[in-house]
Amino acid sequence: MKLSNEQKYRLLEQAEPNELKRLYELVEKSHWRQSYHIQPPIGLLNDPNGFTYYQGEYHLFYQWFPLGTDHGMKYWYHTKSRDLAEWEDVGIGITPGGRYDSHGAYSGSGIVKDELLYLMYTGNTRDQDWVRHPFQNMAIMDTSGGITKREMPVIDAVPHGYTDHFRDPKVWEQEGRYWCVIGAQRTDHTGCTVLYSSEDLMEWSFEGEISTRLDPFGYMWECPDYFELDGQGVLLFSPQGIEPQGAYYSNIYQSGYVVGAPLQLDTRSFAHGDFQELDRGFDFYAQQTTVAPDGRRILVGWMGLPEIDYPTDEHGWAHCLTLPRELTLREGKLIQRPARELERLRQEHHHAQVELRDECVSFTGFEGSSYELLCQFDTMDGDRFGIEFRIGTDEKTVLTYDRKLRQVVLDRSRSGKPVAVEYGEQRSCSLEADQIRFHLFVDTSSVEIFVNDGEEVFTSRIFPETDSTGIRFFAEGGTASCEADWWKL
Ligand code: FRU
């Protein structure tokens, strides 16, 4: 059911009597609830926010609209973890509804200073004529976990030359100053990123636009993130308005990055290579990174997309976050591996090894709806080989390496309840390799597939029946040897 604007921009305390109870009951009955992913208790989750390591714990917030599965009044919902594997629900982090966030506490980031966690976010407001006025606000979490919003915005106006699509500050510290990138739209309706700097996180100066070679590239850039990795500069962002090109840019909106020599903070010039997509799957957007205490760069994304209906909408909830991934750079490309701490989730284990000859086989113990599967194919002369999973009477999700076309293909046309079919039911990418490793994390209604140790990732929601639990390995038009490990999660 779609909500009116009045219904969407209500705070929790404005819910009708029994409205929350009904939502909780609806969610309770949903057979697509995830078992080890971060998901909203009720309502809609979107972007990860404020991802920071603070006082021995990772804090990870997300955009949350409690009263339905539309995008409405956004709160920050708070989760935390000691190890990136087991997450604890903390509850509401930032409540909107003040003068400078009357229509939502939108996305932002976190940074630790003087033993406090500073959370900088966009306050979304609308005036009587429903015109948007964004503010950049600050909330501060202390060592007891209490979060206090600062009364006044830290950036109270949009600079000349940009529209009211101006949001998602991502803060970092460098050369003794604080810096933040903000996603923006120019008045000519093209997207870009702007840079601010500050001595103390409270007073910010507008430095100007980051000059890239991507000009123009879509009409809005959401959720920018800048960091350095192995002496290179990396700018991540989620551009809107990019047209599909072959197997690229197939989703409604994109998420990707450019890599180059480090950003020149004084001139804001950034010499970089081509835009590359972060994920090849159906459902990935608005990622954010943080640094682990041991220096690893960790990324989490929203496993969903704006403006798309999902089958759980009728169940009173929508979306989840991706698993945390470790980022490294190889020849200008980001390699993404599941955070090593996730091994702690492993339970019962099965191993199998077989030579497949034009056949499709299953192994004892390999089945379920919540598991990790690691499978290596080599010495192959078959045309195609791969894995079918979440198999039921009429359902299966199929992951194939097509050796002739040198392509990895994920097919969700028979995965269960259809999603966004107007954007196609297959995703693919080119991959030149003589050995293929597929590393899958399957949950009740999702799959994350890491190919060849993080060279490519496919992140997707799937909505199969509860009893669609089969797994089969196949080779067509020849042979392929296959060695597989399965863990219950
Ligand atoms: C991205 C986004 C952000 C915004 C937030 C609102 O999905 O549109 O730009 O801050 O979601 O929930």
Q: Which tokens sit at 417?
A: 């309840």
Other beta carbons less than 10 A from residue 420's beta carbon = 18
DSSP bridge pairs for 201: none
* pLDDT value for 13: 97
404-408, long-range: CB < 8 A, 24+ apart: 406/430, 406/431, 406/432, 407/247, 407/431, 408/280, 408/436, 408/451, 408/456, 408/458
Q: What is the pLDDT along the chain (489 residues), one digit of tens a residue?
A: 688 999 999 999 999 999 999 999 999 999 999 999 999 999 999 999 999 999 999 999 999 999 999 999 999 999 999 999 999 999 999 999 999 999 999 999 999 999 999 999 999 999 999 999 999 999 999 999 999 999 999 999 999 999 999 999 999 999 999 999 999 999 999 999 999 999 999 999 999 999 999 989 999 999 999 999 999 999 999 999 999 999 999 999 999 999 999 999 999 999 999 999 999 999 999 999 999 999 999 999 999 999 999 999 999 999 999 999 999 999 999 999 999 999 999 999 999 999 999 999 999 999 999 999 999 999 778 899 999 999 999 999 999 999 999 999 999 999 999 999 999 999 999 999 989 999 999 999 999 999 999 999 999 999 999 999 999 999 999 999 999 999 999
**Closest ligand 1 atom number to CA of residue 223:** 9
The alpha carbon of 456 and the centre of ligand 1 are apart by a number of angstroms equal to 25
> How many CA atoms are closer than 13 Å to the CA of 384, on its beta-carbon side?
13
Of 47, 73, 103, the one to substitute when testing ligand 1's pocket (max ligand atoms within 8 A of C-beta) is 47
What are the pLDDT digits (tens) for 36-87? 999 999 999 999 999 999 999 999 999 999 999 999 999 999 999 999 999 9
Q: Hey, whose CA ends up nearest to atom 9 of ligand 1? A: 222
Contact 8 CB / ligand 1 (< 6 Å)? no
What is the structure's pLDDT at 1?
65
- Give the CB-side neighbour count of residue 39, counting CA atoms within 13 A: 22
In ligand 1, which atom is closest to the CA atom of 65? 12
Does the beta carbon of 49 sit less than 6 angstroms from any atom of ligand 1? no
Cα(225) to ligand 1 centroid in Å equals 14
In angstroms, the CA 71 to CA 313 distance is 12
Q: For residue 429, what are the contacts with CB-CB under 8 A and spacing of at least 6? A: 247, 280, 407, 408, 456
Q: What does the pLDDT look like over 370-383, one tens digit per residue?
A: 999 999 999 778 89
Say how far apart CA 186 and CA 176 lie, in whole Å.
30
Q: Which of 106, 237, 321 to mutate to test the pocket of ligand 1 (most atoms within 8 A of CB)?
A: 106
79 Cβ closer than 6 Å to some ligand 1 atom: no
Cα(187) to centroid of ligand 1, in Å?
19
Q: Cα–Cα distance between 179 and 181 in angstroms, integer?
A: 7
- Atom number in ligand 1 closest to CA 107: 10
Cα(65) to ligand 1 centroid in Å equals 12
Query: Is 62 close to ligand 1, i.e. is its CB under 6 Å away?
Result: no
Q: 185: CA distance to ligand 1 center in Å? A: 14
**Whose structure tokens read 């840079």?**
195
Q: Find out whether 167 and 182 touch, Cβ atoms under 8 Å.
A: yes
User: Is the Cβ atom of 122 under 6 angstroms away from ligand 1?
Assistant: yes
pTM greater than the 0.85 cutoff: yes
Specify whether 47 is catalytic. yes
Q: Which of 47, 279, 283, 443 is catalytic?
A: 47
| Cross-strand partners of 421 | none
| 106 CA → ligand 1 middle, Å | 6
Ligand 1 close to Cβ of residue 103 (< 6 A): no
Q: What is the pLDDT of residue 379?
A: 76
CA of 47 to the centre of ligand 1 (A): 6
46 lines ligand 1 (CB under 6 A): yes
Contact 43, 80 (CB under 8 A): no
Residue that the structure tokens 């969407």 belong to: 8
In SS3 terms, the chain reads as: CCCCHHHHCCCHHHCCCCHHHHHHHHHHCCCCCCCCCCCCCCEEEEEEEEEEEECCEEEEEEEEECCCCCCCCCEEEEEEECCCCCCEEEEEEECCCCCCCCCCEEEEEEEEECCEEEEEEEEEEECCCCCEEEEEEEEEECCCCCEEECCCCCECCCCCCEEEEEEEEEEEEECCEEEEEEEEEECCCCEEEEEEEECCCCCEEEEEECECCCCCCCCEEEEEEEEEECCEEEEEEEEECCCCECCECCCCCCCEEEEECCCCCCCCECCECCCEECCCCCCCEEEEEEECCCCCEEEEEECCCCCCCCHHHHHCEECCECCCEEEEEECCEEEEEECHHHHHHCCCEEEEEEEEECCEECCCCCECCCEEEEEEEECCCCCEEEEEEEECCCCCEEEEEECCCCEEEEECCCCCCCCCHHHCCEEEEECCCCCEEEEEEEECCEEEEEECCCCEEEEEECCCCCCCCEEEEEEECCEEEEEEEEEEC
Q: Whose CA is nearest to atom 12 of ligand 1?
A: 106
Residue count of the chain, please give it: 489
Q: Ligand 1 centroid to 184 CA: how many Å?
A: 12
**Does 47 contact ligand 1 (Cβ within 6 A)?**
yes
Whole-angstrom distance, CA of residue 400 vs CA of residue 353:
18
- Nearest atom in ligand 1 to 74's CA: 12
d(CA 182, CA 200): 18
In testing the pocket of ligand 1, which one of 223, 254, 283 has its CB within 8 Å of the most ligand atoms? 223
Mutate to test the pocket of ligand 1, among 62, 63, 163 (most ligand atoms within 8 A of CB): 63
Are the C-beta atoms of residues 316 and 69 closer than 8 Å to each other? yes
CA-nearest of 30, 1, 14, 93 to 319 is 30
Instruction: For 451-472, write each residue's pLDDT tens digit.
Output: 999 999 999 999 999 999 999 9
Atom of ligand 1 nearest to the CA of 222: 9
Q: How far does the centroid of ligand 1 lie from the alpha carbon of residue 70, in Å?
A: 13
